[in-house]
Structure 1
Amino acid sequence: MSGEPVPHEAHLGALASLDRVGGASLRVLLSLGPPAEVWDRVRRGRLPSSVLDALPPPTRAAVPGWARAASTCDPVRSWARWRERGIGVVSIGSPSYPSCLLDDPDPPVLLFHRGDLDVLAAPRVAVVGTRRATGYGRRVAHDLGRNLAAAGVCVVSGLALGIDAAAHHGAVDGRAGPAAVVGGGVDAPGPATNAALAREVVDRGVVLSEAPPGTRPEPWRFPVRNRILAGLAQVVVVVESAERGGSMHTVEQAQRRDRTVLAVPGPVESAASAGTNALLRDGAGVCTGVDDVLVALGLSRAGSVPAPTEERPDPAGDAGAVLGALGFTPVPVEALARDLGLDLARLSVALGELEALGWAERRGPFVERIARRGTGPGEPP
């Protein structure tokens, strides 16, 4: 990539790689200016006291080590390495940013992803619960994942052990691709025992994270991850949960966003169902199977969800070849011409056709594929 322009997502990703930097800290840093300028300030240790004071205390304590870390990190090389590994980076305002997060009260500034962002155009249901699931809970989660995906619903979960894994195991062979939001990097999402499942989710759907590749899933990242899970979902189903924990935090985030919350009833003597039974006592909807979830989505019990329709005409010729090479992450136009063996004039014509058809968007020297917009109940196409 020597001599090629680098999108601002490269420097955003470098900033996100700094110790204790999450979405809130990233917004504070970006108040100083464009990502490349902020990165240069970090590298030189020149952050103003007003910005330092605005950072959360744990992040502020990590600031002294940032300049040293930045001196060993090259955003251009990191960006090239992510591209080589099939890892995309999308920032808010980008044409491929998930439309369902645009109106979120706390949208992620950037998302790393592997897989197909277009699966998020389907209706989306989060299936969450305890890592210490019982056999009953795993069976219910697996059946929900399988039946929802077969009905055309994107099953969203966190790739954790227990309920998350059971729901995704059920969903990976369905009509709609699944989505996972993880606390660590998308290059090694979830626990090692779920590695094969994670590959299936990437192959059939998409894995998303705010954390850069190579990031360990530190405990503080899971609560901030849960808001994205809740933001993506139109309905949240809790299968089994203790009265406190990650699932209950996801419920809180869902309620903040006016999402429908359903709970699966469980045995009154089971600690794994204490949280779900409490939710039911407090007024959550009852989930006894896929029909209850489809009704909560505003869909018929009898029918499956219509598949998201692709209203954009399929391009042909050079435009079709260019679209096949485009991903949901910005790429330099010159690099695209070189990879495809097209001269710039011919490529420009093809890109113009893709833009006219709504498949791509140019941003300065970069071009990026436009993701299909959500077409679930209550969402604009």
Structure 2
Amino acid sequence: MTIHQAPARSVEQKSTGGFAIEAEDLVKSYGEVRALQGLTFSVPAGGIFSLLGPNGAGKSTTVKILTTLSRADSGRATVAGHDVGRQPNKVRRAIGYVSQKSAVDPEATGVENLTLQGQLYGLRGAPLKQRVAELLDQFHLTAEGGRLVRTYSGGMQRKLHVGMGLLHRPSVLFLDEPTIGLDPEARAEIWQEISRLATDEGLTVLLTTHYLDEADRLADRIAIVDAGKVVVEGTSEELKGELRGDTVQFEFAEPPNAELVNRVLSDQDDAMSEIKIDGRVLRARVGNGATALPATLAALTAAGATVAAATVSRPSLDDVYLRYTGRAFHNTGNEVPR
């Protein structure tokens, strides 16, 4: 299988700077498991950059290296102009980090959580009180600030966690799976606040996610990560624009005979390409899905294949992932131990 690499950046762009994050050939292993295999990407200052990939792709390992919580076996990385390996303290002062697992203390109030976070960064007195009040207001938690966090909803706890990452006014914010486990309404609220941070405050946000819609909705640029490497990078529209035509998908009652299916598809007037069979599901690309779908469905049925469902759609990030990795976007749940 051929992996298509993202277009090379110009020498001028590299030499003039302007990148808030640069990762070059990062390698990291946990025992015999290779979590990162030469991962490379750069994040321009300002805006939202997403590392998109299924569980176990290496996203959280990357963030832990960039936030100085782990060391790469080899490779180089800079954040906010500071070398992650040689200047970890400068990196820590320049960044905010919101991990997958909540760092809030459920037995403390919202005010107490924010205050402690500020004290860790050396804030005291009136400036600290003012900053805590600002963040509670910003995340619509003023009325709940005096309550114990264990009484908060999941969405409220997550907003407080993001607020803690912003308390010292970082220039780069790392959000590792920020909406995992949240209901749709809470997700939408977090999305709105992330967008505002980048748009109104000029913050650089690195967002890791395994939600296709989240990356599509929020990110200015997306790097798709698979097996510890970036396989393609670009804006959502650029990535989807590389895929011509439509995606057709057939779901069979039982796994189909690959030889039979390929023969039927090759006989159609509108030739299909990038044909992939995954269990009971067949996906392919075609010039005009609206006309190809009914004709292909009829031909498959006539050949003895039992089709349970058939759909046609415009290109999506799932299709992009399929093209560059050779498989559909699935989350296995097999995360590398952290």
Q: Structure 1-normalised TM-score?
A: 0.24
More strand by share: 2
Between structure 1 and structure 2, the one with the greater Rg is 2
More helix by share: 1
